[in-house]
Structure 1
Amino acid sequence: MSKILSFLGIKEKEQSFEAIISPHMSNLFKVAYQYTGTKHDAEDLLQDLLEYLFTKQTELRKIEKLKPWLMRCLYNRFIDLYRKKQRQPDLDDIDDEKIQPLFKYYDNHQQDDQHKEIYQAMNKLSANQRAVVTLHDINGYTLPELAKIMDIPLGTLKSSLHRARATLKQHISLQPSELNVRHY
C-alpha cells in the first residue's frame, strides 16, 4: 500500500480530506443554515465550500487553526453566492422553506411564531450584518475572532454589529422576557 501511495505522491501519514473536514461538518452546516435560512440553500453552500476546499487540500493540511479558517472560507462563499443571487431575477419557489421556523423541533405554536418573526427580521439584514449576528450572537465568536474571519477592521465590525442589532430591534416586536431561548 505504501508503494502505491508513494507512487501517487501521497504521504502515508497524511490525513484524508474527509478525516480533516468531518469533525467540522456539523458546525459548518449549522452556520450555513443560519446564514441562508433554508436547508437546501445551506446544503448548496456547504457543497460549494467543500468543492473549493477539495482543490485546496495542500493548503488545508498546513492550517494550524482550522476552525476559524473554515468559518472564513464559509463566510466568503456565502457572500459570493449571496451577491450572485442578488444579480439573478427573483423567482418564486413553490416549496419555499422560508416560512418554516428556524428550529423545527418545537411543538409550541407560540415559539414557532417567534422563530418566524426572528427569521423574517434576520432576512432584512444585509449579508454582512447577518453573518456578524450569526457568528457573534448565535455562535459565540469574539469580535477579534470575527475580525480575522471576516477580514475587516474591528471598528467596522463593531459598527456593523450595532447596526444589525438596531435593525433587528426595529423589526422584532418580541421582548427578551417573552422568548424561550434554548442554548445549545
Structure 2
Amino acid sequence: MGEHEDCGGTEAGTCALVAIATQIASSFIHPLASALRLPARLVCPSDEAEQAVVDAMIQAAAARAIPVDVIDLRPSPAERLDAVTARLDGWGSRAADVAPGAMPTLLILRGFDVFGDDTHDTPTYPFRSEFQFDRKFLWLFIGRDASRMRFLFGSYRRPLYQVAGDITPEEWRPGKRHDQ
C-alpha cells in the first residue's frame, strides 16, 4: 500500500487519474494569469476522468478565490446552452465591463461533445463571435468523444474552429491506452 499513500490509499489507476486531473487544473488555473486564460477544450477518456478534472478544477479555483459554475449540457443540450448564452449579460463581457481586480468565473461546460455532429450546428453559433475575448468567464469545454470535439473545434467549416485550445493531456489522446 505504500506507493499509494499520497493518494489516500486509492488504487494505482485512480491515483494516476487524480494526478493527471490535478496537473490539468493547475496549468489551466495559472496563479499569475487566471484572468488572461484563453478558452480551452478537454477530452476525457471516462466518466471518472471527467469527474476528477471537475473536482480538481473546483479545488484549484477555490484556492485562487475564483468562482466556479459547472453546467452539464447533456440532459437538454440546446436549452441549457441557450440558458448559458442568455445569462451572460447579452455578451456584455468585454474587459471594460469587468471591475478591476475582479476574478472571472470558471465556467465548465460538461458534455459539450453532444453538439459534435451535423444535426447540432445552430446552438454553437452564439459562442463564436464574443466568448473568445470574454473576461468575465474562464471557459472550459469538456467532452468524452474526441471525434465530436475535433468536429466542433478542429474543422475550418465549423463555427467553433480554433476558438478553444486543446488541453487534453497526451495520455488521454485517442490511440493511447487508458487504465482508469
TM-score above 0.5: no
Select the structure with the greater relative contact order (CA < 8 A; seq sep ≥ 6).
Answer: 2
> Which structure has more strand as a fraction of its residues?
2
Which structure has the larger Rg over C-alpha atoms? 1
If the length of structure 1 is used for normalisation, what is the TM-score? 0.26
If the length of structure 2 is used for normalisation, what is the TM-score? 0.26
